[in-house]
Amino acid sequence: MSKTEAGSAKIKVGIVGGTGYTGVELLRLLSQHPNAELVAITSRKEDGMPVADMFSNLRGKVDLAFSSPDKAPLTECDVVFFATPHGVAMAQAQELLAAGVRIIDLAADFRLQDTASFEKWYKMPHACPDVLRESVYGLVELNREKIRGARVVGNPGCYPTTVLLGLAPLLEGRAGSSSPLVDAGTLIADCKSGVTGAGRKAELHILFSEASDNFKAYGVSGHRHHPEIVEHLQTLHGGPVGLTFVPHLTPMVRGMHSTIYARIDPKAREVDFQKLFEQRYANEPFVDVMPAGSTPETRSVRASNMIRIAVHRPGNGDQLVVLVVQDNLVKGASGQAVQNMNLMFGLPEDAGLGQVAVLP
């Protein structure tokens, strides 16, 4: 542990980019975390403004004011979260690591190990490939032990979290197996996200009168989460996979629903897929495999770090349908980042993440 010991001094936390949706969600979660102390929150534009003046839900909970990055005491922190556009974390990573600060990036700088793929999809060169090589992909349910010792964690994208956890039990270590469970070459992920997935910005397609009472697909010809999903599916599988991924924008503030289709291998027709998923996630505090026949709702995870999965096999045929829901801002972003922090500092994995979903 860099500067603190679990159970003693609190973890000193900095957040770069605190005015977006993932930034305020980090503030909400960390302000209630029993082992975290917020010491810096940056925004060049809002320098000097009290956080609670922008986000009234944090009145009486967060006493910090925003500060410009050049004035924020980031090198005095134990961990710094980057809730920023792509490219920011990698520009500051070397300096922070040299000061003994751990990094959790909620953008894409440390998600893809293939720099050519990163540069193609994010339209920028990678500034620190050496740091990228040591970084760990922060999907806890797949990389728990690696995350514990990491200095740099690339927090997964929201869509990839649902797809990877929805497919992991079917693909793990099955390349070349004489008993594959599904056809890894014909996977389909039909995914829907609330408008906050687009970020806190003024753009035409996410204006209320444009997004409300409407539903549409986007990124059908290619989406930057596709290479991230495929890279990590192939790592899971140990071989090539084929994935059709189509995201959709839904007229709700937060929430994500992914419907995943996988063709059952003829040799796996007798497999109890419900039991397979239940056993795989039996000890995962934030993965709920629901009873057979369930249809999980996005509101069942709203404002919580829980992800809920339901497994269907219509007509007991050869098509498997996996339904996955999560809050795109919590398990899909900031909650998962806090889950990563807990592991990196030897804390209980669920510390500060016990929020029950909000209904109605």
Query: Once rounded to an integer, what is the mean pLDDT over residues 70-77?
Result: 94
Distance CA 20, CA 83 (A): 7
Q: Give the burial class of 286: count Cβ atoms within 10 A of its Cβ; 0-12 exposed, 13-18 middle, 19 or more buried.
A: buried
Q: What is the DSSP letter of 332?
A: I
- Span 174-219, pLDDT tens digits: 777 768 999 999 999 999 999 998 888 778 888 888 889 999 999 9
Distance CA 250, CA 255 (A): 9
Confidence of residue 1 (pLDDT cuts 50, 70, 90): very low
Q: Give the burial class of 48: count Cβ atoms within 10 A of its Cβ; 0-12 exposed, 13-18 middle, 19 or more buried.
A: exposed
Angle value at C-alpha 233, between 231 and 235, nearest 5 degrees:
70
| Phi then psi dihedrals of residue 208, to 5 deg | -55, -45
Distance CA 282, CA 289 (A): 8
Query: Once rounded to an integer, what is the mean pLDDT over residues 215-229?
Result: 94
Structure tokens given for 254:
């937060």
Structure tokens given for 136:
């760990």
Q: Which residue in 77, 128, 158, 191 is the catalytic one?
A: 158
- Span 307-345, pLDDT tens digits: 999 999 999 999 999 999 999 999 999 999 999 999 999
Distance CA 178, CA 198 (A): 42
* CA proximity to 82, closest of 43, 116, 119, 50: 43
| Whether 158 is catalytic | yes
Asked whether residue 136 carries a pLDDT value surpassing 60, the answer given is yes
Asked whether residue 91 carries a pLDDT value surpassing 90, the answer given is yes
Structure tokens given for 313:
């096999």
Query: Once rounded to an integer, what is the mean pLDDT over residues 222-242?
Result: 95
CA dihedral 339→64→71→18, nearest 10 degrees, is 50
Query: Once rounded to an integer, what is the mean pLDDT over residues 58-71?
Result: 94
**Helix (DSSP H) and strand (DSSP E) numbers for the chain:** 11, 13
Q: Which residues contact 293 (CB under 8 A, 6 or more apart)?
A: 310, 312
Q: What Rg, from alpha-carbon coordinates, does the chain have? A: 20
Q: What is the DSSP letter of 248?
A: E
Task: Match 């004035």 to its residue by tokens.
Answer: 71
| Phi then psi dihedrals of residue 255, to 5 deg | 130, 150
